[in-house]
Amino acid sequence: MASEDVKRSESAVTTIVNIAEEAKLASEGVKAPSRAFLSICKSLVAGGVAGGVSRTAVAPLERLKILLQVVYLSLSFGPYSLRSHFICMLLGYIPILGLKYIWKTEGFRGMFKGNGTNCARIIPNSAVKFFSYEEASKQILYLYRQHSGNEDAQLTPVLRLGAGACAGIIAMSATYPMDMVRGRLTVQTEKSPRQYRGIFHALSTVLREEGPRALYKGWLPSVIGVVPYVGLNFAVYESLKDWLIKSKPFGLVEDSELGVMTRLACGAAAGTVGQTVAYPLDVIRRRMQMVGWKDAASVVTGDGKSKAPLEYTGMVDAFRKTVRYEGIGALYKGLVPNSVKVVPSIAIAFVTYELVKDVLGVELRISD
């Protein structure tokens, strides 16, 4: 009897231990996805905050760039002429004059016109872009280590370029309709015959009058342009940071960490390189977005007469007509205010992203 009692006790203890182990495994199985989900949310929040802060900081320059891209500034000077073209160029090369013009004609609200739509687009775009870059970097690094057989291998600038290109394409495609209507909202003025009242009114109007495909006008040059733009942004920024940390020039690095000003400089360099390479495609994208908008001619020139045909059959046709009627320089209209804008914008975005992730306690280094 005693031996049977002992066996029963041992069996009961064994059962309890097994149940406890199963409960532990089950709880771990529940917690792991929760932690992963929380990490994803933190990364998306950091990217969204970075996009909203950086874009609002440079909203006036963003609007000036778009207005110059579609030659809007000629509307107050009558039909297209050498004089209006010269004034447009002058305002483009001296951004402060363009900003003063907007302030004089439209006031404070004009400086930030379209920024609400822009933030509504850039916040999810930035969130998806930063998160996609991290995930693409992890997968590319894993495949690279498997292929090279070196478990300690790190991302090269070329691999970072590829990861950034993937992130840019995903983010651009996911939020492109918002970018399309943002362009139209930014361009319209108080004198425009067509008045979009907001994001959803613009979306519904375009869908009703032009069809679903209109929401993706200019998508191809956007995707082609985003490959070098976003790819170079991430590649230059991350590579510069790595080089500074390893070489430690001019005493810029302390305890393997870069200061905020140094990271801002890295972001500025990355933004300048990326936007200069991709800018002509951004101009073509913006012009293609105006196609199909029946009131676009009045927005472009103010009198309903446009020297260059507004209808484009595609990206190549848009390039050809723009260069033919306005010269190669037209592909760089608004480049100067865009350069002034990109330097702080990209820099603020990268640094804000890293600071928010630090606050939220998310691991930063992709390549570690």
pLDDT in tens, 232-260: 999 999 999 988 888 877 666 666 678 88
pLDDT of residue 48: 92
Structural domains of the chain sorted by starting position, each given as residue range(s) with its CATH number in brackets: 34-360 (1.50.40.10)
Q: What is the mean pLDDT of residues 19-45?
A: 62
Poorest-confidence range of 187-191, 204-208, 219-223, 361-365? 361-365
Poorest-confidence range of 12-16, 269-273, 295-299, 343-347? 295-299
Structure tokens of 73? 């500034």
Read off the pLDDT band of 161 (50, 70, 90).
Answer: very high
Q: How far is CA 194 from the centre of its chain?
A: 28
- In terms of pLDDT, which residue wins out, 184 or 215? 215
* Selection from 331, 338, 254 nearest residue 287 by Cα: 331
Backbone angles phi and psi of 254, in degrees to 5: -130, 125
Q: What is the mean pLDDT of residues 6-28?
A: 53
Q: Do residues 260 and 252 touch, judged by C-beta distance below 8 A?
A: no
pLDDT in tens, 213-229: 888 888 888 888 888 88
- In terms of pLDDT, which residue wins out, 169 or 301? 169
Largest CA distance in the chain: 112
pLDDT of residue 364: 45
Bin 15: left if φ > 0, else alpha if -120 < ψ < 50, else beta: alpha
User: What are the DSSP E strand ranges found in the chain?
Assistant: 253-254, 257-258
| Cα 302 to Cα 75: distance, rounded to the nearest angstrom | 4
- In terms of pLDDT, which residue wins out, 89 or 279? 279
Label residues 263-284 b or e (16+ Cβ within 10 Å = b). bbbbbbbbbbbbbbebbbbbbb
Q: Do residues 270 and 238 touch, judged by C-beta distance below 8 A?
A: no
Percentage helix, strand, coil for the chain under 3-state DSSP, each rounded to 5? 80, 0, 20
pLDDT in tens, 313-341: 778 888 888 888 888 888 887 777 777 77
Q: Is the pTM of this model over 0.75?
A: no
Backbone angles phi and psi of 152, in degrees to 5: -100, 5
pLDDT of residue 226: 84
Average predicted confidence (pLDDT) for the chain: 76
pLDDT in tens, 63-107: 877 777 665 434 433 444 445 555 555 555 566 777 887 888 888
